[in-house]
Structure 1
Amino acid sequence: MPTVLIIDDNAAVAIALEVLFSLHDIDALRAASPEEGLALLERSRVDLVIQDMNFSADTTSGEEGEQLFREIRRRYPDLPVILLTAWTHLDAAVGLVKSGAADYLSKPWNDNRLIATVTNLIELGQANRALAQRVKQERRQRHELEENFDLRGMVWSDPATERVLHLACQVARADVPVLISGPNGTGKERIAEIIQANSAVRDGPFVVLNCGALPSELIEAELFGADAGAYTGASKAREGKFEAADGGTLFLDEIGNLPLAGQMKLLRVLETGRFERLGSNRERQVKVRVISATNADLAAMIRAGTFREDLFYRLNLIELRLAPLAARPGDILPLANSFLAGGKQLAPAAEAALLAHGWPGNVRELKNVMARASLLAAGPVINAADLGLPASAAPALDAEPDRDTIAQALSRAHGVVAQAAADLGLSRQALYRRMERLGIARAG
């Protein structure tokens, strides 16, 4: 149950508020002075404070309330504070709202509006605390990753990417095949490099073969090597990727392009470590960690008879799934900034355009966009137009709400400024500034 601390020297006010809150399942603590209120805050869990502006007899300046508010803000910067005001110190309360107070209420208050304001602020505070806890946990996990593993300069911020990194580092030392799946351009090779860098064979070679970049008739020769005369044009013996990767890691990208004959030989190597070069009967022995990657639906290929099911399960002992860049938006701006050249910076509108774009080409497309923008931008700041993205990717900046829009939002929120601000996509302080500039009076 949430708890509100009422700091007011008027016992009748405190009791009335306490009864009101009890009817809405909100606990209330009472303090008759600033000193007592601060002491309660030290030993009690409080979700929100409601404080008066004056505590001494015959004092109406509001200075005591201002001092109390600033002390609460100093000690508990995230704790929402609602000010109870009288007309004599309304200006002081408005000034404190601009300094970070959650809201102010004139005496006598409206019960419904007070409960709505308190409920909104408590829910917002709980959400903020949960977010802060999650951010703290993510920072701790990131620190542990960076301290304990070689991440090969990986740039990321999105939790989805961090989960893949955690799993990649966790399985790196296990001598098992790993399959990395995900669309083209998502960074599958970088994940393979991280697995290699943290494996027991980190000092061995890291050999890459893109099975989709070669004609099918040459893939086997690339993998297993060939003796002279094994095929047309093979004038001398050549070493294959498995031999080159002996004692290290072989990364097979676009494994779905491997022909069935090559799949059968690959399965044998994975099971025994043995193979023959094309055109040779001599068996060779290697010790290689195989990491494969695919952007294809291997399960559908198995159903179609174009990929061996036994090889799939041999490769798929551990699968790491990399999401498209658009599905991990937290990575977009850190990656974009890492790709910038010449000390250039992104304008806010450019950042918005990057976040709005769908990135069908994933990280590879982002890298190309930033390289082009770095080259073509006239000055040190890259604007949205410099990115060359479709016009629809750059959302128009929201116009400042006019007087009628603000009045309608306040009406819908029954005068609760916090709710109206949320509806308008503004902070309470920003809404107060607009109301003051437009001469919109706040209901008492």
Structure 2
Amino acid sequence: MDTILIVDDNQAVCTALALMLELQGYAVVTCLSPEAALKIVAEQEIALVIQDMNFTQDTTSGEEGKRLFFQLRQLQPQLPIILLTAWTQLELAVELVKQGAADYMGKPWDDDKLLNSVNNMVSLHALSQQNNQLIRTEHQRMSAIKDADLCGIIFGSGAMQRCVDLALQIAKSDVSVLITGPNGAGKDKLADIIHANSPLKDKPFIKVNIGALPMDLLEAELFGAEAGAFTGANKTRIGRFEAADGGTLFLDEIGNLPLSGQVKLLRVLQTGEFERLGSHQTRKVKVRVISATNAELMDDIACGRFREDLFYRLNVIELALPPLSARQDDILPLVEHFIGKEFLVPKPTRQSLLSYSWPGNVRELENACKRAVILASSPQLTVADFGLAAAVTPPVEAAQRNTGEVNCATVDEENSAKVEVNKQQIESALAQHQGVIARVAKSLGLSRQALYRRMEKYGIDK
């Protein structure tokens, strides 16, 4: 609830104003002197001040009110102040309004006019406070990013920005983190950022791709093995946990860990203790574990393939990375990074790159860029250079193929050819581009207005 301060040497005025404002839902504080007003503003959160201009009997110059006004502004420069006086000094009113007074009214005041001014000033003050808070938050965020090691990550989308911000915040702690998202989306890059900005950044950072290790060697890789523990173990093997002691261990594709390994991993997370294969000697390590998966672990838990207690140990904080198709603003910055400065991507090629769904995510995009650079016959890269000609069809050609016609008899608001697209095409494009009308229209070769008309025609609700 917003609090309004009323400063007037007349108790009856304070009471009348307080009653009127309280009926409007405001909290009200009153005082009779400038000294008391300054103390209240210094100690409490005040949204608005209504102050008298004269506080000494038989004084009408307004100098006391002027002095209080400037003292209040010095305490809180953005605090709105409404000046109230029985003696209307026009020159003084103009002077103080120029100095930032919100309003200036004579006594007796007009209730409706005063309430309207109060409502407007309180609303503006609240917006100003929110804006200032947003500015401070953004400044702090930018300062944090400026000082952070982003490990060369390239992005331009708000979704990826939020992931990076959260990764930097997570990095400060030592809790276990589970990074979820599809293959090739960049989960390992987020793990790099977390470690590089953590207090453990100068300690070991060991990565293990569980999906790439043979099942029969997995436990030996993680926990080590004594010589003779299994066929081919001719010497003692140090496990990844021992190698990462004091630092960070990144377990990629954690959903592929067999149940026997899950039991040992749970024990390490709970106690820091484990034994090498073929040994009864208990060893103790202190390791921060970051894990990643593209699997739905809750489904694996329901099917008995993954331990629920391990899941909650790993998932103290989850960092969910969206697929590249949901981070469309990342595509072109990544392309520019992968192809280098020697090549250019003309507009038709850019549109095709943006309209493609990239099921292989950033990894597929990087490979397509490498292909384009190798096979390009000129610095101007084409869709064929990227190997997407069969997967991506220009919007007009797609419409011609599916409907057999293009209506060029009329011209829409943007003087572009009208393309007849069917309901299924529109619904498919809406799903692919998460309902972003500008992108859907571009992918179909329509203006936004033309797309809206067709959606209305087919009864499609965005």
Answer yes or no: same fold by TM over 0.5: yes
Which residue number corresponds to residue 348 of structure 2?
349
The 5-angstrom pairing of residues 137-148 of structure 1 reads 143-148=142-147
Which residue number corresponds to residue 381 of structure 1?
380
User: Could you give the per-residue CA deviations for residues 127-167 of structure 1, whole angstroms, max 9, x where no partner exists?
Assistant: xxxxxxxxx99986874453131110110111111111111
Give me the TM-score of the superposition, normalised by structure 2. 0.57
C-alpha distance in 2, partners of 1:203/1:260? 33
User: Could you give the per-residue CA deviations for residues 80-121 of structure 1, whole angstroms, max 9, x where no partner exists?
Assistant: xxxxxxxxxxxxxxxxxxxxxxxxxxxxxxxxxxxxxxxxxx
C-alpha distance in 2, partners of 1:225/1:329? 43
Which residue number corresponds to residue 159 of structure 1?
158
User: Could you give the per-residue CA deviations for residues 180-215 of structure 1, whole angstroms, max 9, x where no partner exists?
Assistant: 001100000000000000111000111111111112
Q: 1:408 to 1:317 in 2, by over 3 A?
A: closer
The 5-angstrom pairing of residues 327-406 of structure 1 reads 327-341=326-340, 343-396=342-395, 404-406=410-412
Is the partner of 2:213 in helix, strand or coil? coil
Which residue number corresponds to residue 423 of structure 1?
449
Give the Å deviation of 1:402. Answer: 5.7
User: Could you give the per-residue CA deviations for residues 333-373 of structure 1, whole angstroms, max 9, x where no partner exists?
Assistant: 11111111462111111111110111110000000000000
C-alpha distance in 1, partners of 2:226/2:361? 40
C-alpha distance in 2, partners of 1:322/1:222? 28
Give me the TM-score of the superposition, normalised by structure 1. 0.59
Give the Å deviation of 1:423. Answer: 2.6
Count of aligned positions? 282
User: Could you give the per-residue CA deviations for residues 191-246 of structure 1, whole angstroms, max 9, x where no partner exists?
Assistant: 00000001110001111111111121111000000000111110100111001111
Q: 1:356 to 1:422 in 2, by over 3 A?
A: closer
Which residue number corresponds to residue 438 of structure 1?
none
Q: 1:187 to 1:246 in 2, by over 3 A?
A: same
Larger mean Cα displacement after TM superposition, 249-258 or 344-353:
344-353
> Does the CA contact (< 8 Å) of 2:180 and 2:319 recur in 1?
yes
Is the partner of 1:168 in helix, strand or coil? helix
Matched, 1:204 2:230: no
Which residue number corresponds to residue 187 of structure 1?
186
Which residue number corresponds to residue 167 of structure 2?
168
C-alpha distance in 2, partners of 1:254/1:373? 30
The 5-angstrom pairing of residues 23-422 of structure 1 reads 143-341=142-340, 343-396=342-395, 404-406=410-412
C-alpha distance in 1, partners of 2:172/2:414? 61
Q: Specify the code of the residue in structure 2 equivalent to 1:355.
A: L
> Does the CA contact (< 8 Å) of 1:177 and 1:291 recur in 2?
yes
C-alpha distance in 2, partners of 1:421/1:329? 19
User: Could you give the per-residue CA deviations for residues 30-80 of structure 1, whole angstroms, max 9, x where no partner exists?
Assistant: xxxxxxxxxxxxxxxxxxxxxxxxxxxxxxxxxxxxxxxxxxxxxxxxxxx
Is the partner of 2:212 in helix, strand or coil? coil
Listed as ranges, the gaps of 5+ residues in structure 1 are 1-135, 410-419, 426-444
Q: 1:258 to 1:338 in 2, by over 3 A?
A: same
Give the Å deviation of 1:386. Answer: 1.2
> Does the CA contact (< 8 Å) of 2:224 and 2:277 recur in 1?
yes
Is the partner of 1:279 in helix, strand or coil? coil
> Does the CA contact (< 8 Å) of 2:414 and 2:447 recur in 1?
no
C-alpha distance in 1, partners of 2:341/2:319? 35
Which residue number corresponds to residue 9 of structure 1?
none
User: Could you give the per-residue CA deviations for residues 281-326 of structure 1, whole angstroms, max 9, x where no partner exists?
Assistant: 1111211110000011110111111111100000000000111111
Is the partner of 1:385 in helix, strand or coil? coil
Give the Å deviation of 1:392. Answer: 4.7
Q: 1:224 to 1:146 in 2, by over 3 A?
A: same
Is the partner of 1:252 in helix, strand or coil? strand
Q: Specify the code of the residue in structure 1 equivalent to 2:411.
A: T
Q: 1:185 to 1:141 in 2, by over 3 A?
A: farther
Give the Å deviation of 1:396. Answer: 3.7
Name the Cα RMSD after superposition: 3.0
Is the partner of 2:230 in helix, strand or coil? coil
Q: Specify the code of the residue in structure 1 equivalent to 2:338.
A: F
Q: 1:407 to 1:163 in 2, by over 3 A?
A: closer
Q: 1:350 to 1:138 in 2, by over 3 A?
A: farther
C-alpha distance in 1, partners of 2:326/2:140? 21
C-alpha distance in 2, partners of 1:215/1:402? 61
Q: 1:342 to 1:161 in 2, by over 3 A?
A: closer
Q: 1:326 to 1:142 in 2, by over 3 A?
A: farther
> Does the CA contact (< 8 Å) of 1:177 and 1:318 recur in 2?
yes
Is the partner of 1:250 in helix, strand or coil? strand
Q: 1:167 to 1:223 in 2, by over 3 A?
A: same
> Does the CA contact (< 8 Å) of 1:184 and 1:361 recur in 2?
yes
Which residue number corresponds to residue 64 of structure 1?
none
> Does the CA contact (< 8 Å) of 2:181 and 2:294 recur in 1?
yes
C-alpha distance in 1, partners of 2:342/2:137? 29
C-alpha distance in 2, partners of 1:339/1:229? 47
> Could you list the runs of 4 or more consecutive aligned residues of structure 1 that deviate by over 4 angstroms after TM superposition?
136-142, 397-403, 406-409
Q: 1:358 to 1:137 in 2, by over 3 A?
A: farther
Listed as ranges, the gaps of 5+ residues in structure 2 are 1-134, 400-405, 416-445, 452-462
> Does the CA contact (< 8 Å) of 1:384 and 1:394 recur in 2?
no
